[in-house]
Amino acid sequence: MKKIFQNQNFKTMRLLLGLAVLFLMLGVGFSFQDKKHVFSREQEISIKKVQADLASGEKYSQDPVEIIFGGDVMLDRYIRQVIERRGGDFIWQKIISELQMAEGVVVNLEGPITSNESVSVNTQIGERNNYIFTFDSGVTDFLKDANIRAVNLGNNHILNFGSDGAKQTQKYLQEAGITFFGNFQGNSAPGWRTLEIEGLKIALVNFNQFSSGAVEKTLADLKEAQVKNDFVVLMPHWGNEYENYINEKQKELARRFIEAGADLVIGSHPHVVQLSETYQGRKIYYSLGNFIFDQYFSEETQKGLLVKAVFDKKNHSIDFQELRLNLNANGQVEIVR
């Protein structure tokens, strides 16, 4: 309710600010010729721009926008059982207030949303079905409750239930109003999408090392995305599972993608937090580790990282705050203070 009230206040302030600017232009630009107001061409263009922006709801103040990026989200196996028994609110209980304070949350969705029955529940590590995921169609509400506005689908589990599973996933997300993006075999949807919040356009681009021709596709997506957006965030699914150290291929690709136009790199897939670095003034997070996952077999897989990224359109800058996570064996996740 607080968030809605704040948004309404922002809209009202935006409208009043726009009207004030318009009246200021009218006042300053007056010259009197036969008691008629005469404006210069530049003033007329400015006034028309104000009027058009007011009509479209364009935001005047270039307020920074805060987006939280999280790692891998897997909602099958034990996590599915916890949600069924205790509800989705229980999973988010210790972190929900932090997530809702941002303008949005973006994560890697590690599997499809389908109407199929789970085949991984009650399986053991090492069994084939233990690594085949499907999430209940109701998880879109679970995601929205946590302010998750966009998800990456370009990973090695999106096709666990074939192309039909991927299509069902896109259908459920679209119906829920959750933005999705990602490159994977057989996908006809765009590999990148724009997340627009308060007039700020952020391109979300995926690199999926498990999809053929991924490098060339990602480079093409970056080239297109940077022309149409204020910022470009690359979310690669790459690297080696359970390794804290990045491999040379990751490092080479990260730098190549930044040179191609990425403003920020947020990686996933290793299931552990990997190092971060800055290249050409742009941040690279090679892996944020797990966010919601039932990998309780090691300390490293029970750690995650949230990255608060504050996008400043006016200065074209991004500020960062890192939040360390613990994934508890009861299914909950909490911030390490």
pLDDT of 145 over the 60 cut:
yes
Q: Answer yes or no: is pLDDT of 59 > 70.
A: no
Considering the domain architecture, whether residues 76 and 173 belong to the same structural domain is answered as yes
| Confidence grade of residue 191 (pLDDT, cut at 50, 70, 90) | confident
For residue 214, what is the domain's CATH number? 3.60.21.10
Helices (H) and strands (E) in the chain, counts: 9, 16
Could you tell me if 32 and 77 lie in one domain? Answer: no
Cα–Cα dist 279/271, whole Å: 23
Asked if 47 and 74 sit in the same domain, the reply is no
More confident residue, 302 or 8: 302
Q: Are residues 282 and 314 in the same domain?
A: yes
Domain range for 143: 65-335
- The type of residue at 28 is V
Which pLDDT score is estimated for 107? 98
Is the domain of 46 the same as that of 96? no
3-state SS, 15-43, equals HHHHHHHHHHHHHHCCCEECCEECCCHHH
Average pLDDT score over residue span 267-284: 98
The pLDDT of residue 26 is: 43
* Residue 42 shares a structural domain with residue 141: no
Of residues 186 and 112, more confidence is placed in: 112
143 in the same domain as 40: no
Last residue of a domain, one of 27, 56, 85: 56
pLDDT at 213: 93
pLDDT at 6 over 90: no
Rounded alpha-carbon distances, angstroms, from residue 276 to 24, 242, 282, 288, 307: 47, 16, 11, 9, 11
Q: Are residues 29 and 77 in the same domain?
A: no
Q: Residue 254, class by beta-carbon neighbours within 10 Å (0-12 exposed, 13-18 middle, 19+ buried)? A: buried
What are the pLDDT digits (tens) for 11-35?
445 545 554 544 444 444 433 333 3
Q: What are phi and psi of 305, to 5 degrees?
A: -140, 130
Query: Does position 270 have pLDDT exceeding 60, yes or no?
Result: yes
48 and 81 housed in the same domain = no
Q: Are residues 228 and 149 in the same domain?
A: yes
The rounded mean pLDDT for the chain is: 87
The answer to whether residues 89 and 189 belong to one domain is yes
Band (173; pLDDT cuts 50, 70, 90): very high
CB atoms under 10 Å from CB of 243, counted, come to: 14
Q: How many domains does the chain have?
A: 2
Considering the domain architecture, whether residues 211 and 292 belong to the same structural domain is answered as yes
Model confidence at 219, in pLDDT bands (50, 70, 90)?
very high
CA atoms of 39 and 33, how far apart (whole Å) = 11
Q: What is the pTM of this model?
A: 0.83
